[in-house]
Amino acid sequence: MKHFSILSIMALALILFTGCGVIKQTPEEKRAEEERVARVVKDNLDKRSYKIDVNYMIPTRWAASEVRGYYIIVDSTVIKSKLPYAGIAHSVAIEQSKGLTFTDNILEYHDSGRTANGRHISITVKTNEDLYDYKLIVFDDGIVDIHVHCRKLSDISYRGEVNTK
């Protein structure tokens, strides 16, 4: 019993001391990192050259779910969209559709610039399958809310973040 209590105390001390060894950012370092991210996000959006890593899919009729490995890349006049889709097809067999996975030229691109509610960007793309309207709200910290409207598929939303690496 005595060995058990000594071992318990040693284990507790080890846990406490290893927890104190975690490196934390100072407030100045945290502020500097936030400023760096905001600057990179702004520069990339201004150049129309950015990648959004998508983390959540939010279908209209179902529960939101976490997703990995999906993205939107905007490079000047081209958009590469690799997004999962969960919804209802209005006029096309979903098995035949590529959905929201395509690379195509941007038909229209409108950037409202920075506002109090984030930066609003509207991208219209016409593919062989459908006409897509991407509405992005990009915040200074790189978080992005995405809403996609299609003619042949139900609307869907996503949440992600601008890749700043």
Which pLDDT belongs to residue 88?
67
Domain count of the fold of the chain: 1
Q: Which residues of the chain have pLDDT under 70?
A: 1-23, 87-99
Which pLDDT belongs to residue 55?
94
pTM for this prediction: 0.78
SS3 at position 11: helix
Which pLDDT belongs to residue 12?
59
What CATH number corresponds to the domain at position 16? 2.40.128.410
Q: What is the residue range of 40's domain?
A: 5-162
Which pLDDT belongs to residue 63?
78
Report how far residue 81's alpha carbon sits from residue 83's, in angstroms, rounded to the nearest whole number.
6
Which pLDDT belongs to residue 71?
94
Which pLDDT belongs to residue 18?
56
How confident is the model over 89-120, as pLDDT tens digits?
Answer: 666 554 455 668 999 999 999 998 877 778 99
Cα–Cα separations (whole angstroms), residue 56 to 70, 85, 95, 108: 9, 11, 23, 25
Which pLDDT belongs to residue 5?
61
